[in-house]
Amino acid sequence: MSSITKLPCEVIVLVLRDLGNMRSLLPCLLTCRYFYSCFRENPGVAADILRQQVTPALIPYSIAALEASRLNPRTGAAVQELLETLYTEPSKLADRLRTMSVPLLAKMGNMHEATHSLATTFANSSWTCLSNDQGSRISGSLSLSSAEYFRFCRAFYRVELYFCLFRTSTPSTAAELLDGSDKERFLSKHAPWENEQLGCALEFLERQLSEASHDVLAHDVELGELGIDYLTAGDGNGWRQLWLSQGIGFIYRLINENSYETKKALLKSTFGAGSADLYEALCTPSEEGLDDVIPLAEYTDEALTTLFPVLDSQDTDKGPFEAWRVAFNVWPRCAWVMLVNSFGLRKRAYVFWDWDRLERYGMLELSDNVPEGSELQYTGEEYDAMYESFKERSNIWQKGGSGYWSRGDESKIVWRHR
């Protein structure tokens, strides 16, 4: 039988290039010396694999997120230079791919794996919600167009980019080199419907984080002693904003971890880490539009085109814009992002879908059947129960106990003095 090692090096390189995922590269190279030798002669194959995995359209965002995580010092000038390159000359970022080391390419591959998983999970859960809405004509499984896939992934990359750039440092040395205007300039590079996409992605991540951390936060004695709020959503909960601020990779690890103790260790590992409240930034209107009281309905297409020119050549479909215009039709410019009563729309990813999908399923009218509130809103009784658990868990902690607490059940408590 012929051995694969008898194949020409060029054929082996073609096989490696077709792996499609950076995670598969290292096991292949460890298979035999001949594979490794072929790779050494053609190191550019690693960049080719990453380009297939991430897709060419998303490569500039992938590189920007990596560069943002390595900015040192993280000055306003450095931040703006990176953002300017990303939004006006993305090809310059893409050109760096060929000179990047394999470990950096692998890091980008891991980040995209998390981004892809979260983005597609969000898309599918949104489609399920739309399918279940009363009166909806939507049915069947979801198949994203290439533009929709790009849009979903781009939103998560932008969330990651914000956290990497504006997460405060510990000690807060680099943070002092940035101010609120840098954050506002970042958001001003997006049209309002694109910032709504960030809001959609952020609230999805918060729902995932809330579900993944609830068992630990609601039952662990030590975390109860600290009085960590596991109910309040949005910028009113500093702990949750801290965990969200650790980025896509952290959240992805947390939601995919099954071990109670490992989840607790992950949550505790962020104590003292920096935070960046994207929720607050999105909800804060820009100074430029504060005095504008004209409702969106009175703006002409030409006026809106002047205000928000298309910056991304990869995303020219009018679907997100039309969906946003219907939702904000009666609102002035200072309220064009993150309306409180639009939770249901954001959960359904209303600003991500292509125009032909919106038209085919009549999705612009679906907002009439969408609930306004968030499932992350809780009753007074639920808050009372949380505060009561803080008292009970604190008493146990003060007496030397730790571990898993349940109301009326201390069988899983571990006592230090015993």
DSSP string, 63-122: HHHHHHHH-SS--HHHHHHHHHHHHH-HHHHHGGGGGS-HHHHHHHHHHHHHHHHHHHHH
3-state secondary structure of 197: helix
Q: Report pLDDT digits (tens) over 196-245.
A: 999 999 999 999 999 999 999 999 999 999 999 999 998 889 999 999 99
Amino acid at 138: I
Q: Residue 161 to residues 33, 37, 186, 273, 345: CA-CA distances in angstroms?
A: 38, 36, 10, 17, 24
Q: Is the pTM of this model over 0.85?
A: yes
Q: Residue 292, Cβ neighbours under 10 Å: how many? A: 13
**Residue 173's pLDDT band (boundaries 50, 70, 90)?**
very low
Q: Peptide bond before 60: cis, by omega within 30 degrees of 0?
A: no
Q: Domain limits of the chain? A: 4-42, 54-311+319-418
Q: Are 9 and 41 in contact (CB under 8 A)?
A: yes
Could you give the percent of the chain with pLDDT greater than 70? Answer: 94
User: Up-side HSE of residue 384: CA atoms within 13 Å toward CB?
Assistant: 3
pLDDT over threshold 60, residue 175: no
pLDDT over threshold 70, residue 170: no
Average pLDDT in the chain: 89
Residue of higher predicted confidence among 413 and 37:
413
Of these ranges, 30-44, 137-151, 367-381, the one predicted with the greatest mean pLDDT is 137-151
Could you give the percent of the chain with pLDDT greater than 90? Answer: 65
Identify the pLDDT of residue 132: 84
**Residue 33's pLDDT band (boundaries 50, 70, 90)?**
confident
Q: Report pLDDT digits (tens) over 64-84.
A: 999 999 998 889 999 999 999
Looking at 90-99, 281-290, 322-331, 393-402, which range is the least confident one? 281-290
**What tokens were used for 321?**
């814009």
